[in-house]
Amino acid sequence: MSRKYFGTDGIRGRANGLITPELAMKVGQAAGLVFQRGDHRHRVVIGKDTRLSGYMIEYALVAGFTSVGMDVLLLGPIPTPAVAMLTKSMRADLGVMISASHNLFEDNGIKLFGPLGFKLSDDVEKQIEQLLDENLDRKLTQSASLGRARRIDGVHDRYIEFAKRTLPRDLNLEGLRVVVDCAHGAAYRVVPEALWELGADVISIGVEPDGFNINKDCGSTAPEALSRKVREMRADIGIALDGDADRVILADERGHVVDGDQLLAVIAQSWQEDGRLSKPGVVSTVMSNLGLERFLDGLGIELVRTPVGDRYVLEQMLANGYNVGGEPSGHIILSDYATTGDGFVSALQVLAVVQKLRRPVSEVCRRFDPLPQILKNVRYRTGKPLDAAEVKSAIFEGERRLNGHGRLLVRSSGTEPVIRVMGEGDDRILVEEVVDHIVSALGHAAAA
């Protein structure tokens, strides 16, 4: 399907560039029309992160939804997984999160969730895209049927209680000193409070949003601030979320970063031991380290790989009955609890293992030694460099050299004119040689 507006995670772009008030209002109208099913009074919940442009987009969406007869419940700043959860629990027909996730404040986006809390399918997105390019004036509702909008209270408390219930009833976090970095984003209120309620000694950073500082030198994409604070405060663990809190990266007591692959290893092994894995498999993307695959294989757990993108991970999980999946970025999906990635709930599962084993985080979260992984990008202007004979030959030769001792992945970016070359294996020098040879061939082809 050729997409004009939707990418792999909703609609995203520069605020007041691609994401204008006009587009947001049209999205509200189009999505509202698609999700009016039946004669009941239809409702949509809307959450957002802390970007300055969130106000503009929020009110434009309200205008769009109410103009087609949908009532709007405004949640305010709240994590993406909370929006997904509340969409279902409040029996809304649609959920919306206004966020550009881990991007800086200049960008923003619109993520849509269906009535069960799942992101929309390609088919539904296609229906909405078709309406976005139509004149909808004749499809607007009558004056007496316009929707109403109101802000609702208590949503933070509902999410906190939901997150706490994912832990065993008799487990608390007493005795743990936890640094949490909320990236000046959507979780800045709920996560520190939830950790405190669970008994932890909480040190919070990234909890002073001003509309401009979301993800800036903080959060899961810049964990250096977290690592420094963990060492400074002699904390037991650090938790870094991104701007909308659907992904998480940890730091151990030494300040060393723990990525999503290690988190998947910890959760998978713990759930296997407790009999909680729905089947002996974990879903991740082609970018997960070969070290994770070998570790899981040693436990009798298959690593099922998908293309890059959390939507593909979730599709595989739902289609084949897996309940643990994720990406190296820390976007972890635990389908027993959530319909999308939830950084905080994922962190709680790891904290539960730490409390159960009573061992330092550096030991608990080092389940395998990652293999050397080299990733390089080659930018091009026009053409299809991957089709060049020189490039195909370099890839074939690289796969031959790595055979049995590593992996090679060469793919086009889905969002920009860039080809990504990833190699990993037991021998770092060999991997670098293979990747550099392919990058050189791509450079020649791009320049031709």
Catalytic residues: 101
Specify burial of residue 319 (Cβ count, 10 A radius: 0-12, 13-18, 19+): exposed
Q: Shortest CA distance to 345 belongs to which of 159, 185, 186, 213?
A: 159
Cα angle: 321, vertex 7, 282; to 5 degrees: 25
Cα distances from 413 to residues 8, 15, 77, 247, 307, in angstroms, run: 11, 22, 31, 21, 11
Q: How far apart are CA 248 and CA 207, in angstroms?
A: 16
CA dihedral (100, 325, 203, 83) positive or negative? positive
Q: Are 16 and 56 in contact (CB under 8 A)?
A: yes
Q: Which residues pair with 119 in a beta bridge?
A: 113
Q: How far apart are CA 372 and CA 388, in angstroms?
A: 28
Residue found by looking up tokens 């932890």 in the block: 200
Q: How far apart are CA 318 and CA 340, in angstroms?
A: 11
Specify burial of residue 97 (Cβ count, 10 A radius: 0-12, 13-18, 19+): buried
Q: Which string of b and e fits 238-258 if b means at least 16 CB within 10 Å?
A: bbbbbbbbbbbbbbbbebbbb
Q: How far apart are CA 280 and CA 301, in angstroms?
A: 5
Specify burial of residue 382 (Cβ count, 10 A radius: 0-12, 13-18, 19+): exposed
The amino acid at residue 394 is A
Question: Can you point out the beta strands (E) in 315-372?
Answer: 324-326, 332-334
Q: Are 15 and 51 in contact (CB under 8 A)?
A: yes
Residue 131, both tokens: 């309406």
CA dihedral (165, 166, 171, 177) positive or negative? negative
**Residue 263: which H helix or E strand, with range?**
helix 260-273
Q: How far apart are the first and last CA of the chain?
A: 30
